[in-house]
């Protein structure tokens, strides 16, 4: 009875690894991933149709994008570590700190991305390249912002003791979304910052 009462004190939620929320998140990742594929297809189609002439003179550089990429990748590592500690039986407060740090790193990423936008000479209305660049990176920034809200909420719930080693599915589900956002950024970084310099985009 003691174990049962302790579980009932926690918020309603699945315990299993592949809970309903897990499947829902996987469907979200698939659909959102498809949207990014469509956007990137539009970018590469335009690149093929226009050739190298469609690229702006001031290509997006690495001064801000590279540190931003490192920040986002490190945030994934922080989320993974926080999730692992929770599953190992550490107190939820420890995971709360990790998730809060990752959320702050996400905010820094958004701020640096906005700063990079402000330094660009081209606009969403100056060319098809500019339109696609701002649309795709802006769409990704919206996903980062959503991820920050998810991590912040999970951090609060962990701090309140809602999750433990047995009931950690919500944290794992939130981590999946954050890792997805990070993986998408790697593709965007390759698309906008690497391939144009290799003559491929």
**In the structure, what pLDDT confidence band is assigned to residue 5 with cuts at 50, 70 and 90?**
very low
CA atoms within 13 A on the CB side of 132: 22
Greatest Cα pair distance, the chain, in angstroms, is 72
Domain extent listing, the chain:
2-198
167, 10 Cβ separation under 8 angstroms = yes
User: What are the residues whose beta carbons fall under 8 Å from the beta carbon of 36, sequence distance 6 or more?
Assistant: 136, 139, 140, 184, 187
CA atoms within 13 A on the CB side of 60: 25
Per-residue model confidence as pLDDT tens digits over 169-192: 999 999 999 999 999 999 999 999
Q: Is the dihedral of CA 80, 83, 89, 92 positive or negative?
A: positive
* Burial 106-138, CB ≥16 within 10 A → b, else e: beebbebbeebbeeeebeeeebebbbbbbebbe
Among 112, 191, 177, 185, CA closest to 147? 177
- pLDDT for res 12: 44
Task: Say how many C-beta atoms besides its own lie within 10 A of residue 77's C-beta.
Answer: 13
Per-residue model confidence as pLDDT tens digits over 103-162: 999 999 999 999 999 998 888 998 899 999 999 999 999 999 999 999 999 999 999 989
Which CATH number, 1.10.510.10, 1.25.60.10, 1.20.120.80, 3.30.70.100, labels domain 2-198? 1.20.120.80
Per-residue model confidence as pLDDT tens digits over 35-78: 999 999 999 999 888 877 788 888 888 999 999 999 999 999 99
pLDDT at 1 over 60: no
């Amino acid at each position: 009875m003691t174990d049962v009462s302790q579980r009932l004190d926690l918020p309603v939620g699945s315990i299993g690894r592949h809970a309903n929320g897990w499947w829902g998140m996987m469907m979200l990742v698939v659909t959102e991933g498809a949207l990014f594929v469509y956007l990137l297809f539009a970018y590469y189609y335009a690149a093929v149709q226009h050739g190298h002439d469609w690229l702006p003179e001031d290509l997006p550089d690495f001064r801000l994008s590279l540190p931003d990429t490192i920040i986002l990748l490190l945030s994934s590592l922080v989320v993974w570590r926080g999730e692992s500690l929770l599953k190992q039986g550490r107190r939820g407060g420890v995971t709360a700190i990790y998730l809060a740090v990752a959320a702050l790193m996400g905010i820094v990423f958004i701020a640096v991305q906005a700063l990079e936008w402000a330094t660009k000479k081209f606009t969403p209305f100056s060319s098809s390249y500019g339109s696609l660049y701002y649309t795709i990176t802006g769409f990704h920034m919206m996903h980062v912002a959503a991820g920050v809200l998810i991590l912040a909420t999970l951090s609060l719930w962990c701090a309140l003791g809602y999750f433990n080693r047995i009931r950690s599915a919500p944290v794992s589900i939130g981590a999946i979304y954050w890792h997805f956002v990070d993986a998408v950024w790697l593709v965007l970084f390759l698309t906008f910052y690497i391939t144009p310099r290799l003559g491929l985009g």
